[in-house]
A and B are shown apart, each in its own frame.
Chain A
Amino acid sequence: MNRRPHVRRQYWNAPTMSWWERLYLPEIVRGLSITGGVFVRNMWRWMTLRKGALTTYYPEETRADYAANNRGKHILTQRPDGRPQCIACNMCATVCPAQCIEIDAAFDPDDPAHPKSPSAFTIDYSRCIFCGLCIEACPEDAIRMVRMVPDFPGRDRERMWITLPELLSWNPQSDVAKPYPGKTGTATFRESR
């Protein structure tokens, strides 16, 4: 770069300012009035007991505007008598890339059609990557993901595990494949805690 140091280089995208903008002050006043206006507007909303911010108070409040395709939480489908559809074959746990599914199998000799069922089904949401491969792998349509978000915030990681009763506490509205036993109320994930 062979140029005299005191000569200012000309940039192709040098900002062009009119003399009004060069005065600094009017433009600064304009900027201040924009930010100050937002401040006054939000304070006025706050004083009239409305919300003056876009922020969601996260653990206390969940956003209403999750995408329609959001599938944030696992559930286990059920047989007509309410027992899990799952046959504890461990295929979801095997395919899981995050290795976050743990299944303990139980044996029931009185039910020769479905002798195996899960006695414990735990998904560790601190590891789950929500890839949906468990749903793809399941031969029984026993695990699905629904349009909810798990209740994450907590002080220890045990609180981020979802267990069998919570996986079963959901209320399907309609399913063309199988009839479900009617349940009362809509069990949300948070209420089930």
Chain B
Amino acid sequence: MIQDLVIAIVYIGYALTVLLLFGTVLTWVERKQAAVMSDRIGANRAYVRIPFTQVKLVWWGLFHGMADGLKMLLKEDWKPAAYDRLAYMIAPWVVFTPVLLVFGVIPFGGTLDPGKLLSALPAVADWFGERSYPMQIARLDAGLLIVFAFGGLSVIGAMLAGWSSSNKFSMLGALRAGAQMISYELVMGLTVLGLILIYGTLDLNAMVQQQSGLVLGFLPAWGIVYQPFAATLFLTAAIAENKRIPFDLPEAESELIAGFYTEYSAMKMGLFMFAEFIEIAIIGALFTTLFLGGYNLPFLNDSGFALPGGHVVPLAHGTVVVLQLSTFLVKVLAMSSFQILIRWTLPRFRFDQVLMFAWKFMLPLCLANLVVTAVVVFLLQR
């Protein structure tokens, strides 16, 4: 039992590290990618000087994130004169915490066999024995439901923030956030239903394992191959959930100052921003898990590469684990980068267009996709 606890703590530590690191690095990626896309250089002046030397580490402006964090921490935490104290205080956390919790059910690697992995240390290896663990913090049958349950919570945070700061702009932003996020949550849920029909499970790890094979002998059996339509709609709805351009109406700065977090300053505002950046990574991770085969590489299984034509390249357990972990991270980073590409390409919708897009355009498409999927799955099962 203690072994399980140790592994769980290791997983949680890994997940937290990865998420917070993604949150920090993505601010840099966003700045730099936006700059390069528009023929600029991007922030490149912050540096860390090695003490007692004149060596200044610039590292392509990576330290601007640190400078930002420090600025957020040291700024005056200004509070509006009239506000709902409790709601105002907890709102950033209500936005931030669910974003982290969603990662709890996402599998970030295959099966971990600590006994095999730590065979160099016989005492530890014996202690773990034959136990093996899926690389996922919580392997729940209702994994996908948990994702949507926690994903829905951040609406409450945005509404709380807007309502409690007693500011018209905040209120408008909160109302927009509520209307928009509830609409797109529906779309998001419906796009995933097709996958549930195909895989017959809500357990994300089982879903990923079913994506490990090949279709037609050459295509990886990823969700995007079965459901390309749903993948596109899911990504769109997810970006709308994250309230980023082209769907950033709740915080449209040219209309509403900063929307529902107008009255927040210092680290409270930083938490909103941080949650947004971590959610980019979470959306990337969800998309990877559902549509891009999660930690799977084509031809890779738990014992090594099985290439077509009977070639087998056996790999050590440690290598496979590292390969799967890094595959997942690379996929997530690529998806995050793609979201940033979208954010710096498209202009903002008008608010009526946002809702119209959800209810009149995406919802019928989702339903059509669902019906077609259901019919095909039914015919194939007979």
Which chain A residues have a beta carbon within 8 Å of chain B's beta carbons? 24-25, 28, 31-32, 34-36, 38-39, 42-43, 46, 52-55, 57
Contacts and interface: CB of A to CB of B under 8 A. Distances in A.
11 contacts: A28-B342, A28-B345, A32-B341, A36-B37, A39-B36, A39-B341, A43-B36, A53-B36, A53-B40, A54-B39, A55-B41
A26 to B, nearest CB: 12
Contacts of B38: 38
A28 B345 CA distance: 9
Nearest to A51: B41
A46 B361 CA distance: 41
Top 9 closest A-B pairs, CB basis? Answer: A35-B345, A55-B41, A39-B37, A53-B41, A54-B39, A42-B36, A35-B37, A31-B345, A55-B40
Chain A facing B: main interface SS: helix
Contacts of B35: 53
A60 B118 CA distance: 52
A42 B38 CA distance: 9
Contacts of A35: 37, 341, 344-345
Given A52-B36, A53-B39, A36 B341 contact: yes
Nearest to A43: B36
Contacts of A57: 41
A41 to B, nearest CB: 9
B33 interface: yes
Contacts, number: 43
A43 B39 CA distance: 10
B17 interface: no
Interface in B329-348: 341-342, 344-346
Given A32-B345, A53-B35, A54-B39, 11 more contacts: A24-B361, A32-B342, A34-B345, A39-B33, A39-B36, A39-B37, A52-B36, A52-B39, A53-B40, A53-B41, A54-B40
B326 interface: no
B336 to A, nearest CB: 14
Contacts of B345: 28, 31-32, 34-35
Contact of B39 (A25, A28, A32, A38): A38
B298 to A, nearest CB: 24
Nearest to A36: B341
Nearest to A8: B352
Nearest to A57: B41
Interface string B158-170: 0000000000000
A34 B37 CA distance: 9
A10 to B, nearest CB: 16
Nearest to B352: A8
A38 B346 CA distance: 15
Interface string B24-39: 0000000001011111
A28 B341 contact: no
B41 A38 contact: no
B232 interface: yes
B36 A31 contact: no
Contacts of B232: 25
Given A25-B232, A39-B33, A39-B341, A31 B39 contact: no
Contact of A42 (B39, B346, B361): B39
Nearest to A54: B39
Contacts of B40: 53-55
Interface in B206-222: none
Nearest to A52: B36
A35 B341 CA distance: 8
A155 to B, nearest CB: 14
Interface string B118-147: 000000000000000000000000000000
Nearest to A35: B345
A161 B359 CA distance: 64
Contacts of A55: 39-41
